[in-house]
């Protein structure tokens, strides 16, 4: 049996669509595929690292980590779809209104969203030493905490914000938005599935329009070596900084 999961951000939405992805893969590659969703980043990561998952649609930080640590192979990425970051607030409309200490809510320290959020603050000349960070486990809960005015600002995956209701959007002020256009989620496979790499990849690249609509993408394409190198370099640099910070 092949066990399949997705980034927790996606497990909380379009859930029926991801079950359909598992069914599609099962029919396409001729092996039983079971979809297993997880609620938070740590639970999902631990499942992959402990060998409980064979195929995962992972966020950029995770697929680099899985590739480095346990030999997972990134095989496909969403077409014309990149991970961007929004810095939002309910209480403030501009960085200039912030007062120290700045209380910030983020989903998880080990995500590209948090890393890019820090870059945006530094670009805006915000002193990170004046910031206090808390982590909620999901981007939806980041928005919830910001709306309750428990924190000054929050880091949110732009896709999550865009798919929020008009009522929620109208209550949030956007202080900053990244526009890098190069970081992305990716389908990755375990080393034990290397012999099935071609058939799994072809199956993903040939998702039909109904299936793509169900999970909210226009299509998938292969990942270039240059893309893997660029994102890996950035992720490894950030991981190194976290390790130095912890030591």
Q: Is residue 247 part of a domain?
A: no
Read off the pLDDT band of 244 (50, 70, 90).
Answer: confident
Is 13 in the same domain as 71?
A: yes
- Same domain? For 89 and 172 the reply is yes
Say which CATH number the domain at 213 has: 3.40.190.10
Same domain, 23 and 72: yes
Would residue 238 count as lying in a domain? no
| 73-78 and 153-157 strand pairing | unpaired
Q: Order across the sheet with 131-135: list the strands.
A: 131-135, 102-106, 153-157, 85-89, 173-177
Residue 47 lies in a domain: yes
Find all residues with CB under 8 Å of 183, minimum gap 6, and list them: 60, 82, 83, 112, 116, 231, 234
* Within-domain flag for 220: yes
pTM of the model as a whole: 0.91
Same domain, 218 and 96: no
pLDDT tens, 44-74? 999 999 999 999 999 999 999 999 999 999 9
Look at residue 207 and tell me if it is in a domain.
yes
Grouping H, G, I as helix, E, B as strand and the rest as coil, residue 45 is: helix
Residue 247 in this model has a pLDDT that exceeds 70: no
Q: What pLDDT score does 9 carry? A: 84
Task: For residue 241, tell me if it sits in a domain.
Answer: no
Question: Does residue 169 sit in the same domain as residue 209?
Answer: no
Average pLDDT, the chain: 94
Per DSSP, the residues of 13-37 read SSHHHHHHHHHHHHHHHTS-EEE--
Residue 215 forms part of a structural domain: yes
Domain region containing 99: 85-177
Nearest CA to 142 among 158, 131, 129?
A: 158
Note whether 73 and 194 are same-domain residues. yes
Phi/psi at 179 (nearest 5 deg)? -145, 50
pLDDT in tens, 124-179: 999 999 999 999 988 999 999 999 998 999 999 999 999 899 999 999 999 999 99
Does a structural domain hold residue 63?
A: yes
Together in a domain, 113 and 71: no
How far is C-alpha 139 from the geometric centre of its chain's CA atoms?
Answer: 9
The model's confidence at residue 224, banded by pLDDT at 50, 70 and 90, is: very high
How many separate domains does the chain show?
2
Q: How much is the average pLDDT of 8-35?
A: 92
H helix runs in the chain, sequence order: 8-11, 15-29, 41-49, 60-70, 112-123, 139-147, 158-162, 166-171, 197-205, 209-215, 225-246
What is the average per-residue pLDDT within 198-222? 97
Per the model's pLDDT, the better-predicted residue between 92 and 11 turns out to be 92
Question: Is the domain of 72 the same as that of 89?
Answer: no
Separation of CA 148 from chain center: 24
């Amino acid at each position: 049996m092949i066990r399949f999961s997705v980034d927790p951000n996606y497990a909380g939405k379009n859930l029926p669509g991801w079950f359909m992805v598992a069914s599609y893969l099962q029919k396409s590659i001729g092996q039983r595929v079971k979809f297993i969703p997880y609620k938070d980043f740590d639970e999902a990561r631990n499942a992959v690292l402990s060998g409980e998952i064979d195929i995962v649609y992972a966020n950029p930080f995770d697929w680099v980590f899985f590739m480095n640590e346990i030999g997972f192979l990134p095989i496909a990425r969403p077409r014309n779809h990149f991970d961007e970051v929004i810095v939002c607030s309910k209480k403030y409309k501009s960085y200039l209104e912030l007062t120290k200490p700045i209380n910030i809510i983020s989903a998880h320290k080990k995500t590209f969203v948090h890393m890019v959020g820090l870059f945006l603050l530094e670009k805006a000349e915000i002193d990170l030493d004046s910031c206090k960070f808390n982590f909620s486990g999901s981007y939806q809960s980041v928005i919830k905490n910001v709306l309750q005015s428990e924190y000054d600002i929050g880091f949110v995956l732009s896709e999550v914000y865009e798919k929020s209701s008009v009522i929620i959007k109208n209550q949030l002020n956007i202080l900053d938005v990244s526009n890098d256009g190069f970081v992305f989620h990716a389908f990755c496979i375990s080393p034990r599935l290397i012999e099935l790499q071609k058939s799994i990849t072809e199956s993903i690249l040939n998702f039909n329009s109904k299936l793509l609509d169900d999970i909210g993408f226009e299509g998938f394409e292969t990942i270039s070596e240059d893309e893997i190198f660029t994102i890996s370099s950035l992720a490894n640099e950030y991981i190194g900084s976290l390790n130095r910070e912890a030591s």
